[in-house]
Amino acid sequence: MFWQKEPKNLGIIIFIILACLVAGTALFIYTTEKPSPETTAPAGIEVIETKEGKIIRNKTEGYEVTVSKGWNVERPSAGYLSFNDIDWDNPKDEYCKIETYIIDNPQKLTAEQWLNREEVKLNESFLTINLDERVEVNIDGQRGIKRVLDTNETGYSIAVIVPLRQKIYELILYPKGEDKERCLKDFDLYLSSIKF
């Protein structure tokens, strides 16, 4: 037998077997753990559970919003907030997602100017746009633009752009899968709940 001829090989073989066992165990634990749908909110952000859903107060950026029951809060931070409707007990490949970005706007661009920036035009020049509709909206007394965009590359999305206090509030819905109508309804509730 080869290990009787060279005892050095036996050590290498044992090392390889142990490394495979450790790697296999780590992979098993990693793939069987459920990801946490909720993330602890940092200072300045409050997440309040109610029977209707969750109220998120961002004291740092000065706004409050409510998401419907069944939506999860992901990675809240001062300038970013994300929600999804993943059922962590029965996850699907397609789900709805709402993202909120708060971006500095020292030039005080209007919503239309924000959407017509050169960098936006450059990014969109690589897309096959099937639908691009823009309408004025009013969110908590603030004027903004609602943009419905459908491209071959990124799919269907709705973005609401609201300039306020040298910031741009960009609220985006990515409705996916069979529940698109419910996603749209929940997004409308989300928009109507915003308080600046």
| DSSP class per residue in the chain | -HHHH-HHHHHHHHHHHHHHHHHHHHHHHHHHSPPPS--PPPTTEEEEE-SSEEEEEETTTTEEEEEETT-EEEEEETTEEEEE---TTS--S---EEEEEEEE-TT---HHHHHT-HHHHHHHTTS-EEEEEEEEEEETTEEEEEEEEEETTTEEEEEEEEEETTEEEEEEEE--GGGHHHHHHHHHHHHHH-B-
Give the pLDDT confidence score for residue 19 in this predicted structure: 65
Residue 36 pLDDT > 50: no
**21 or 113, higher pLDDT:** 113
Give the pLDDT confidence score for residue 13 in this predicted structure: 65
Residue 163 pLDDT > 90: yes
Distance CA 127, CA 100 (A): 22
Give the pLDDT confidence score for residue 35 in this predicted structure: 41
Where residue 34 falls among pLDDT bands split at 50, 70, 90?
very low
Give the pLDDT confidence score for residue 69 in this predicted structure: 86
Both ends of the chain: CA-CA distance in Å?
77
Mean pLDDT, residues 96-110 taken together: 93
Where residue 9 falls among pLDDT bands split at 50, 70, 90?
low
Where residue 180 falls among pLDDT bands split at 50, 70, 90?
confident
- Give the pTM: 0.74
Give the pLDDT confidence score for residue 77 in this predicted structure: 78
Where residue 130 falls among pLDDT bands split at 50, 70, 90?
very high
Q: What percent of the chain shows pLDDT beyond 90? A: 44
Mean pLDDT, residues 40-67 taken together: 86
Where residue 41 falls among pLDDT bands split at 50, 70, 90?
low
What is the pLDDT of the chain when averaged over all its residues? 82
